[in-house]
Amino acid sequence: MYESDLSEERIIFGDSPAAPAKSSQNSSVITVSGSGDGLTAVQEPLVRDIAAQPFTWIRDSGPEKRIHCRVQFQRLHGSLSAASSTHGLGTQPIDPVLHSYWVDSSSMEAFRYSTKSQLAAWMEELNTLQISNWIIVVLVSPDQKPLRSRVAPRLDVYEKIKSEFCSKPGDHGRCVFLMDPRSGMGDADAWHNCVTQFRQLIFESYEAKLRVLEERSRILRDGRNSPGWRFSDYFDLQIALVKCYERLGFKEEALLRLDETSSVISILVSEGSLDHYALILTHDWMGVNLARRLKGHRELLESKLEVDFMSLLDVRTFLFVCQYELLRELGREVEIIDRSVSFIQDVNLDTRTLKVSMMPGAILCWNLLTCNEIRQMCQGGGDGISFPNLQSLATLLDLERNMLEQTGRLCGLMPGQASTPEHRVLLDELTKAIESSVVSTAILRLFETLSSTEKFMKAYLELSEMTMGTFKHVGRIRTVKLLGVDLARLYMKLALYEKAMAFLLDALKFLRSERWLVACGDVVELYLQCAEASSHWDCVLRGSMVIVSCLDVDLKRRRKHLLTIQDLAERPSHIPALGSTMPIAWPDAFVITMAGGLPEQVIVQQPFDVVVEVDCHLPSAMTLKEIRLVVEAASSVVHVGSRSPVPAEDNVLFGPNKHGVKEKHLLCSSTLEHEVDNNPNSLKQFPGVKCVFPKPQLRDLSGEDCDDKDKLSAVSSNAKLEPGRQLLTFPLQLQEVGEYYVRHVCFRLSETVTFVSSVETEPKIHVFPDVTSCQFEPAKGPQTNLWTNVQHPFHVRLEGMPVSMENVTITIQSTDPSFLKVFQGEQRAGSESLSLYVKNARKQEFRILCSALRPVYDAELTVHLPWKSEPQRFHFKFKAPVEIAFNVRTCISPSPMTFVSSTMRNLRGFAVSITNARLNYGDQLAEVLVKEHAELTIIPPFATTTVLWKFIEEPSEPAEMVFRCAYNLYKESDSNAEAEPSHELETGFQPGKFGQMRVSIGFKANYQEPLTVGDDVNLVYSVQAHKFPDGLTLFYQIHHDVSYWHSNESTSGSLNFPQGPQTEIETSVIALKSGSTALPCLRLFYLQDEEICPLDFFHVYNESAYQMTTIKNKELSEKDGKVVDQDVDVKDIPHATA
């Protein structure tokens, strides 16, 4: 800005404007003539009451509306012709909407001699100017007499005026009288009539004005191609309509008028009708400047319009500011950014269309200032309002970023540019031009950004990061990746190749998934430039392979990069760099399928050929050192999932090939063993890749050393590949039995580089031994339950290649003949071995009977084959049909006794009878409480029965309890059926660790009945050692529910007997809340191998284990008698600790 334009003090404002306030401009003007003394007293309540009640507005089109009209009274200075002339914006007068004449009726004499002539002159002037919107108000002075003696007010002046000046039929309501209602002596009906009449006349005036303005606007819009048509007339008329709509509260109609005006401007600019209209001034361009609060920007633009000094940029800015205010009032803030982007684009289009001559970079700086102000406003500024239209905000950020980049390139601030004197002169001129008397934050930021290269780059990178983050938040990932490519180009100019490569790889992964094939090639070219500049030759190799195998790239570029690959493969100086892997997917250079079927059965060490078809996608022929087929054992395959969002089948850079072959993945790596094994990043940086690359050194037919025994390889005689389809034959000989997958083919280009391509569908090869093996399993399946003392049929069969003899004799032998027998047929007696004649590939059945006494028995059988030196071993698990579980308890009173419950459960689907049950504890025999249960118990299928035992005397040392019984199996589920011969069952368990040690715990709780919340409970535990070994230390713990009880004392410690075999433990607790709960229980523990272990119920009789009580609330509610929750907080208890 020039110094002559600095007419006011420079003031800095914030980022966001305040919400638009209701100003006097939105009030309708009513002129005041005649005596204005009486108006002063009633003006405030009259203005308030006119705007208080809504008025129903019914027009020819659209729904009816209820609106409020705000008015202001202005004293008329001068003639009515001056007040009714063109005022404000527009050739059609808007204000005043109504003319009023105020008459004081205090004296009839005064009215006759002066007021009457003045009123007559005022009416004559109205008729001369053809003004029909007027009203006469007669102020009647209230009677000051007491209420009882007060007479009706004198209305002779009012009647005189009404009869002489309002005699026409349409003027009867234009003369009203009123008294001040606040005096207490006024006429409320007259006041209400006056307010209603004012409101009615105001809206009639607006109706007439709108009808005329809308018709004139339509005529001017349709006749814009007529000679003599002036845009200023149309614009003034549109703004006049907008102001009328705003005053009446028609915000939507006003917004439509503004949109129509903006569209007409764009049409006129495109038609060349506004060539003479200045687009922008040579200085004082400061953006839309929404933050200007000292003097409203809209008022400033209106003042320019009044003196016919508004440029086309001012017109555009004025329309946008009006739209902004209307959208804020309508609560449609989310549309502001959309309209702001259109506004900026329209201004730039006008600049290019009209070919405006201005300072270089002027329109760019204006765009930056406007974008920054709108963005700051939409992100929440001084008024704290944030607009959530992130889609449009992202577009605005991208527009601002592009403008900033163009400005930096124009001023020599971008990387790779050298600052020249011309750049510095241009920066000085731009800095002066964007100065303003009112400086916003946007101007200050632009000053700082253009001050140096470092600050410019900082601002540009911050804006780029914000733009990418916003686009990513709204889900426009494609734009994010393309912005990343732009940033990569910037980093390349700054020689930050590592950062550039990261952005390029990210973009390449997305472009690959979206199948943007040509764009992929362009991105890889940039990646190769970074890799060459940073000497990452492994990345150069892999990037070249991407372009070479992409069929959508032109042939010349593909051949160029193929030569690069061959050159890198022969350069030993770059061999160490080729050990790492490129973190992008390899395209398919070779598509490999099986040309012929594999043999169904392959015998170990038998040679056979594998023929594969290679579809070569290279642009020209390639001579290789070696082509090797890799076969891997199925047992060594481990499927590793990928965290890449790109599916494995889509991880390629070109679409389905033209030959209909499914795409596969291609990897490339060095064949040096120490590089692959010692590099921790080898084959781990590539996202979304199914790793199929084998270890470099493999075992082949020549007997070379191999470090992976599960992988075999074969070499083809043909080592040259031509573009297109060709067959390769690999001789193979497998040394071990099993299943093998034909994994991939390795193409060795040199001693340091080998390419790998997977075989389509990975066919499987079955390798069989040269001799027959034996398979041995239950006849009903491997999941069959094997019961003791039950005959189970088994099948034995021979598998493998046929042997020379037709019938084979095998021997099946039991390793434990006393409990396990093998036999054929239905006979019960068996032997320890059995000889069977088995035909080739045919099952032979035999039976096994296990008579073990234990509940679970692990059986082993050996099978001797005549052609094998070592027998085959098979293992099976037999279990008894009855499952037995024990539970031991101790009773102290009157003398220590032990009770044992034995629970027997039938596991079979048939009934089982139990007889002669007995329980021994060392040399002591337990006494059964119900004798009949021990003599005979029949258990139905899957049912349970329990027998209770009692020991009076026990052994002095710890011993095992042994349970013995006999059981009979029924062939049917009915227990009345005939039972099979009985069988013995024996099982044991260790009931206790310390033999006859017995401890009893007595318990006594002292508290006041009933127990309420907050009461103390004194607990006494009496511990008595009936039988206690020497040198044993016990520990105790008082266990309680912390939600019901609280204790301030210690609840654990060691247990001693200082006064004899009995001791007591005392403590107290506090009830915290109401309810039924268990009283605190004492538990005993002992130390074993530095761990605390609880004593079981076999050694301890605990009287405190199951003591219950009920806690009640302290008081009841007096209102409804319901229980009030009076629970106690632990923090409220004195001396309570957490």
Q: Are 612 and 734 in contact (CB under 8 A)?
A: no
Which residue would you say has higher pLDDT here, 1010 or 80?
1010
Residue 1134 pLDDT class (50, 70, 90 cuts): very low
Fill in the amino acid letter for 131: I
Please list the alpha-helical segments (H only) found in 9-152. 37-52, 80-83, 108-110, 116-129
Residue 188 pLDDT class (50, 70, 90 cuts): confident
pLDDT of residue 256: 92
**Which tokens in the block code for residue 298?**
């809209």
Q: Are 838 and 892 in contact (CB under 8 A)?
A: no
Mean pLDDT of the 305-318 span: 69
Q: Are 317 and 288 in contact (CB under 8 A)?
A: yes
Q: Are 1114 and 1012 in contact (CB under 8 A)?
A: yes
Interatomic CA distance for residues 824 and 711, integer angstroms: 46
Which residue would you say has higher pLDDT here, 747 or 711?
747
Using the predicted structure, report yes or no on whether residue 105 has a pLDDT greater than 80: no
Ordered DSSP codes for 989-1038: E---SSTT-EEEEEEEEE-PSSPBTT-EEEEEEEEEEEE--TT--EEEEE
pLDDT of residue 291: 45
Which residue would you say has higher pLDDT here, 953 or 517?
517
Mean pLDDT of the 96-103 span: 86
Fill in the amino acid letter for 170: G
* Predicted confidence (pLDDT) per residue in 485-517, tens digit: 888 888 888 888 888 888 998 888 888 788 887
Torsion sign over Cα 622, 625, 629, 630: negative
Residue 376 pLDDT class (50, 70, 90 cuts): confident
Lowest-pLDDT choice from 574-583, 645-654, 835-844, 928-937: 645-654
Which residue would you say has higher pLDDT here, 260 or 451?
260
Mean pLDDT of the 741-754 span: 82
Residues paired with 499 in a beta bridge: none
Distance of CA 1018 to the CA centre of its chain: 56
Using the predicted structure, report yes or no on whether residue 300 has a pLDDT greater than 70: no
pLDDT of residue 1130: 44
| Share of residues in the chain with pLDDT > 90 (%) | 1
Using the predicted structure, report yes or no on whether residue 703 has a pLDDT greater than 80: no
Phi-psi region of 363 (alpha: psi -120 to 50; beta: other; left: phi over 0): alpha
Lowest-pLDDT choice from 76-90, 130-144, 1106-1120: 76-90
pLDDT of residue 658: 31
pLDDT of residue 670: 29
Using the predicted structure, report yes or no on whether residue 532 has a pLDDT greater than 50: yes
* Predicted confidence (pLDDT) per residue in 926-952, tens digit: 777 776 666 778 888 888 888 888 877
Given strand 807-814, what is the order of strands in its sheet? 833-839, 807-814, 856-864, 872-879
Q: Three-state DSSP class for 674? A: helix
| 964 CB-contact burial (10 Å; exposed 0-12 / middle 13-18 / buried 19+) | middle
Interatomic CA distance for residues 949 and 930, integer angstroms: 8
Using the predicted structure, report yes or no on whether residue 675 has a pLDDT greater than 50: no
Ordered DSSP codes for 187-201: -HHHHHHHHHHHHHH
HEC per residue, 374-410: HHHHHCCCCCCCCCCCHHHHHHHHHHHHHHHHHHHHH
Q: Three-state DSSP class for 759? A: strand
Interatomic CA distance for residues 760 and 744, integer angstroms: 9
* Predicted confidence (pLDDT) per residue in 1056-1111, tens digit: 776 667 888 888 999 888 888 888 998 888 777 677 778 777 778 777 777 888 88
* Predicted confidence (pLDDT) per residue in 562-586, tens digit: 888 888 888 766 545 444 433 233 4
How many other C-beta atoms lie within 10 A of the C-beta of residue 810? 20
* Predicted confidence (pLDDT) per residue in 893-906, tens digit: 666 778 888 888 88
pLDDT of residue 884: 87
* Predicted confidence (pLDDT) per residue in 987-1038, tens digit: 887 776 666 677 888 888 888 888 898 888 998 888 877 777 766 778 888 8
pLDDT of residue 642: 42
Residue 281 pLDDT class (50, 70, 90 cuts): very low
pLDDT of residue 842: 60
Mean pLDDT of the 180-196 span: 72
| 1110 CB-contact burial (10 Å; exposed 0-12 / middle 13-18 / buried 19+) | exposed
Ordered DSSP codes for 1054-1082: EE--SSSSEEEEEEEEEE-S-EEEEPPEE
Interatomic CA distance for residues 83 and 80, integer angstroms: 5
Closest listed residue to residue 58, CA positions, set 66, 46, 49:
66
Using the predicted structure, report yes or no on whether residue 400 has a pLDDT greater than 50: yes
Closest listed residue to residue 255, CA positions, set 320, 315, 303:
320
Using the predicted structure, report yes or no on whether residue 364 has a pLDDT greater than 80: yes
Distance of CA 511 to the CA centre of its chain: 23
pLDDT of residue 666: 29
Interatomic CA distance for residues 849 and 831, integer angstroms: 10
Query: Does this model's pTM top 0.75?
Result: no
Which residue would you say has higher pLDDT here, 955 or 969?
969
Q: Are 96 and 32 in contact (CB under 8 A)?
A: no
* Predicted confidence (pLDDT) per residue in 432-475, tens digit: 766 655 567 777 788 788 888 888 888 888 888 888 888 888 88
Residues paired with 1076 in a beta bridge: 1110
| 827 CB-contact burial (10 Å; exposed 0-12 / middle 13-18 / buried 19+) | exposed
* Predicted confidence (pLDDT) per residue in 1055-1070, tens digit: 777 666 788 888 899 9
The per-residue pLDDT of the chain, averaged, comes to 74
Interatomic CA distance for residues 876 and 895, integer angstroms: 48
Angle (CA) 1043 1048 1054, round 5° = 105
Mean pLDDT of the 618-626 span: 86
How many other C-beta atoms lie within 10 A of the C-beta of residue 636? 13
Lowest-pLDDT choice from 150-159, 443-452, 685-694: 685-694
Measure Cα distances from 345 to 168, 342, 366, 871, 914 in Å: 58, 5, 12, 90, 98
Which residue would you say has higher pLDDT here, 385 or 456?
456
| 844 CB-contact burial (10 Å; exposed 0-12 / middle 13-18 / buried 19+) | middle
Q: If you ran DSSP here, which 8-state letter would residue 474 be given? A: T
How many other C-beta atoms lie within 10 A of the C-beta of residue 49? 18
Measure Cα distances from 566 to 541, 580, 587, 754, 935 in Å: 9, 18, 17, 11, 93
Q: Are 205 and 97 in contact (CB under 8 A)?
A: yes
Interatomic CA distance for residues 113 and 157, integer angstroms: 13
HEC per residue, 620-661: CCEECCEEEEEEEEHHHCCCCCCCCCCCHHHCCCCCCCCCCC
Interatomic CA distance for residues 1085 and 1099, integer angstroms: 11
* Predicted confidence (pLDDT) per residue in 18-61, tens digit: 444 444 556 788 888 887 677 877 888 888 888 888 878 777 77
Q: Are 87 and 95 in contact (CB under 8 A)?
A: yes
| 468 CB-contact burial (10 Å; exposed 0-12 / middle 13-18 / buried 19+) | buried
Determine how β-strand 1016-1027 pairs with β-strand 1062-1071.
antiparallel
Mean pLDDT of the 733-758 span: 82
Interatomic CA distance for residues 108 and 111, integer angstroms: 5
